[in-house]
Structure 1
Amino acid sequence: MTDADTPAPDLDRMLDGVAPRLRALRTRRGLTLADLAEQTGISVSTLSRLESGGRRPTLDLLIRLAAVYRASLDDLVGAPQIADPRVHPKTIYRHGRAMIPLTRSNPDVQAFKMVLPGHSPEESVEQRAHEGYDWIYVLSGRVRLALGDEEFVLEPGEAAEFDTRTPHGTASASLEPAEILNLLTPQGERVHVRGRPGVV
């Protein structure tokens, strides 16, 4: 092996740090190896070896893992943070509402700006329950927040936080759209962004 083929010590240290980082990301998101295998198409045994350091990650594997974790490759390998820190979000449309991601790779919490479409005051607010914790802040419009048997109307500048194991839901309090900031734990982010309509 030539000098050019020999991994640099810094590269070795970087790759050695991938295993615990992958394990920590999966744990924080509340995923099992089987869950991750289903979402990435990578076998459970390969994922287990990646997290134990028994297998060096390839670019193909890292790209698939980064997509699930909504992280950059630099985040997975612990590269120095010299990239542009600005977020360039792509709007996501779910259940008739627009969701604009404001965070890029935080494994503990995801921030979104949400535009809630106009909603008839006579219609009920759809509720869901799941593990996690949510925080919302009203930017414009008026927002109905349903929590179990209770319902609240939030005005611009008001905030609310709640345990999402309580059935909950939000909707505009009028026929005009409303805008909110929403901080979601990983469990809540999966429900809002990746869950199928009507499925928790």
Structure 2
Amino acid sequence: MSEPTDLLRQEREAEELLGAVSSEVVGARLRRARQRMGLSIRDLAATARVSKNSVVRLEGGGMPQAMTVVKLCAAMGIHVASIAKPAGDEAQIVAIHRQANDRWFDLTDFGAGPVEDRPLSEEERRERVSQGLKVPLLILTNRLETGRLLPTVIELYEESEKRSHSGEEMVYVLKGRARIHVGLQSFDLEEGEAATFWSAEEHSYAPADGADLPVRVLSIRIDDRA
């Protein structure tokens, strides 16, 4: 099939699809798709061979021209159907963790499941530690369905076991003073300080000398399996 004929077919399909959603929804979806790819309006317009004003107008909620939408979608490597799907069928763009979602695990054995199927207060976690819980771990649920970030909160009463995994990790001290061991190096971090490291290096977390317990850190790592 020749390119002009194929474009005409895509234009007809796009006209049918675009008739099911408002121009505001189409514009918002085009803008999000462009931003996810890190493209400026100028870059997208140049790649799609449309005017910059056409992109601005579409993203602002202007009436979509089917052929323009086809060209923009082709330039971003997405199907028009992803822009023109029913308004209620939105992809997840925000994920939120609520306190009611808190479930605490043991970092040394989080595969065993949560300590309790409910949130635990700091006093309850401290009691569990006295009963054998090693390193309280809160797995935050604000992870996007197709995202790669794994956010957790780690509560430290003693040094954790050394571990390693692919990717990189960022640790931010929420409370107290922490000591981060990475490979042969160790770093003390005050509350409000952070470190990022290649997590293929063996690493562990611990309270710094003399720190009030528990020390609490936020860990965010990239899940390479996503």
Q: TM-score, normalised by structure 1?
A: 0.44
Task: Pick the structure with greater CA Rg.
Answer: 2
Q: Which has the higher contact order (CA 8 A, sep 6+)?
A: 1
